[in-house]
Amino acid sequence: MKKFTKIMSILMISMTLFACSKKEPTEIAGTNTTKNSQESTNVTNKANTIDLIERPFETFNFQTIDIKTGEIVKSEDVYNKPYTMINIWATYCGPCKKELPDLQKLYENYGDKINILGIVADTNANMTTNVEEALAIMKDAGVEYVNIMPNPTMEEDMSKITAFPTTIFVDDKGNVVGGYLGAYEYDRVAATIDELLK
C-alpha cells in the first residue's frame, strides 16, 4: 500500500509540473496518453518522437476569432504551409504559461516553414471569459503568433482534450498527424519539427 501511495504521489507531481487537468473534466472514452520512447521510435508517423496513441480528433477545422485583433480566423487560411503546430492552453495552467516563450522562439525560428497557432481553451469567442487575463499572459511571454478562442462549433473537438497544454500537428488539409500532452522544451519540439520537415 505504501508503494502504491508513493507511485501515485510521483504521478501527481509529474502532472503538476508538465500538464494541468481540465477544471471541469469530461469523461471521454479512450483518453489520450503519450507513447513511451521505445514505442515512439518504431511508429511510421512523421511526428513519431511525440506521437499521440489516440488522437483527440482526426481532423481539426475551425472558424473563430483572433484573441488579439478580434478578426475572423479560418483554418483554411491558416493551413497554408505543410504543417501547423496547434498549442491548446489555458490561463490557469502553470506549465502552459511557462512554455509560451519557447513557443514564441519556435515561431521566430520556424515561422517561415510551419504555422504556429495557439488556442486559449478557457476563453470564448464572445470575449466574455478570461480574455484580458490571456492577453496579459501573452504580452508577458512576448507571444506574437496568432491565438484563437474556442466557439460553439469547436465544442465537440475541445471536449476531447483531457489536459493542458495539448499540442497537435496538422497537415495542410487539417488532418492531425501527431502531437503530445504536457509542456515540452524548445529543443525537443524543434527536433520534432525538423523531423516533420524532412
Q: What is the mean pLDDT of residues 102-126?
A: 95
* Helical segments of 83-182, H only: 94-110, 131-141, 155-158
Residue 14 pLDDT exceeds 90:
no
Q: Is the pLDDT of residue 36 over 70?
A: no
Q: Please indicate whether residue 59 or residue 8 has the higher confidence score (pLDDT).
A: 59
Question: For the whole model, what pTM was predicted?
Answer: 0.77
Is residue 175 classed as helix, strand or coil in its secondary structure? strand
Residue extents of the structural domains in the chain: 2-197
Look at residue 113 in the predicted model and tell me its pLDDT. Answer: 96
pLDDT category of residue 21 using cuts at 50, 70 and 90: low
- Which has more pLDDT, 55 or 169? 169
Is pLDDT larger for residue 119 or for residue 23? Answer: 119
Q: Give me the percent of the chain exceeding a pLDDT of 70.
A: 73
Sorted by sequence, the CB contacts under 8 Å of residue 95 that are 6+ apart come out as: 17, 18, 19, 20, 164, 165, 182, 183
Q: Reduced to 3 states, what is the DSSP secondary structure of residue 65?
A: strand
CATH number of 2-197: 3.40.30.10
Q: What is the pLDDT of residues 38-72, one digit of tens each?
A: 333 333 344 444 455 567 788 999 999 999 999 99
Distance CA 104, CA 97 (A): 12
pLDDT of amino acid 125: 84
On the CB side of 56, how many CA atoms lie within 13 Å of its CA? 24
What's the pLDDT at 19?
Answer: 60
Cis peptide bond upstream of 165, omega within 30: yes
pLDDT reading at 127 higher than 90 = no
pLDDT for res 187: 95
- Please write the tens of the pLDDT for every residue from 77-89: 999 999 999 999 9
Specify the pLDDT at position 174.
95
pLDDT at 79 (0 to 100): 97
Q: Mean pLDDT for the chain?
A: 79
Question: Which pLDDT belongs to residue 51?
Answer: 52
The pLDDT value recorded for residue 169 is 94
